[in-house]
Structure 1
Amino acid sequence: MRDLAQSWPRIPDWSGTAYEGRGIHVTTVQGLTQHLISGNFAAFGTDIGALGIASGDRATVRVARDRVLVTNAEPALVTPGWREEGFAATDVSAMYHVFEIAGPGVPDLLREALLIDPDNAGPSAAVMFAGLHAILYCVERSDRLRLHVERGHAAYLVNWLESRD
């Protein structure tokens, strides 16, 4: 019987630098918990939109009118399922690969990868980035991005970055 697994590329080792070039440094963020919260998300604090600035690994990022992605939330708040406070929590930590992108080349990257105006990004962090559905925001400063992409598309994103060289 033919081994079909051999026809697919191997999953890269994400422990080091994923890409470096054209003024940006791309790494993988390890150990970040991610939960989608649907409904009344007031218990998670103020949300940020595309290119909004989060103050660390704990962030509430708007992805739709009534949905946010919360990173590193308190475990008691994000037990899966419906909550009396009026929201449902779903653990999506295994769904999204998280990249951190930093460096002086970030503005050029944004102009090339986004379908929106980086200077007027809007209230939702759900964007098209390099042709992929992604969640994009800044961490601590405007030249340090967090990019959440579906795990299966992570290798494509690195290939896309390399093709820019």
Structure 2
Amino acid sequence: MRDDRSNWTPIRKHEAQIDGHGVKVGQISAEHQVLISGPTVCAAFPDSFGWPDIAAGPFYTLFVRRDRVLLVGAAHSEPEGWHSETGRAVSDATGAYEVFEVSGKNARSVLDQGGELHAPSNSVARLLFGFGVFLYRYESEDRYRIHVARAHGQALWQSLEGACNAVDAP
């Protein structure tokens, strides 16, 4: 298989930042990301966050769909794999997603350029700039986190950069 890594400039974790026009974008590190799937998983995690809820703290759970949650920050006690006794599948997704944070008074304007975000939902799964992402507010009204498949991280970054540049300066 051909090695195409040299065709794209990778984002350097925690180095790259966009700062201007009332918005700041940066890449953050999520210590642990664990997907848990199963027909009763949402009942097992009733305090999970949807859109446009505000998640807070170092550990929180996001509703991804009606049978899946994403635990962020917390190491999960169940080992990876299928657990027939609980009817759940556990997958460590720490390396699967890049996480970006968009904040500032114009953060929502930047994100609105990427998709229709007005409809509330129990799920944080959204389509943003053509990418399937998990999008939620974090700790305040104007601070957002985006989890995107690692393979799409660079392209999403470029989309966010373009959207930031298109926001009118104050």
TM-score class, shorter-chain normalisation, is: 0.7 to 0.9
- Distance in 1, matches of 2:76 and 2:3, equals 39
State the shift of 1:43 in Å. Answer: 4.0
Aligned positions of 1:1-165 closer than 5 A = 5=4, 8-39=7-38, 40-41=40-41, 42-77=43-78, 79-83=79-83, 84-117=85-118, 120-164=119-163, 165=165
State the 1:147 CA deviation. Answer: 0.4
Cα contact 1:18–1:158 (8 A) shared by 2: no
- What is the CA distance between 1:82 and its match in structure 2? 2.5
Q: Which secondary structure does the structure 2 equivalent of 1:159 belong to?
A: helix
Aligned pairs, how many?
160
Displacement, 1:20? Answer: 2.0
Amino acid at match of 1:134: V
Provide the secondary structure at the position in 1 that maps to 2:111: helix
Q: Equivalent pairs: percent with the same residue?
A: 32
Once residues 136 and 161 of structure 1 are traced to their aligned partners in structure 2, the CA distance between those partners, rounded to angstroms, is 13
- CA drift of 1:101 comes to 1.2
Q: 1:12 to 1:34 in 2, by over 3 A?
A: same
TM-score (structure 2 length as normaliser)? 0.83
Amino acid at match of 1:154: G
Tell me the CA shift for residue 116 of structure 1. 3.3
Alpha-carbon deviation of 1:31? Answer: 4.1
Question: Amino acid of the residue matched to residue 82 of structure 1?
Answer: W
Structure 1: 5+ residue stretches without partners: none
C-alpha deviation, 1:72, in angstroms: 1.8
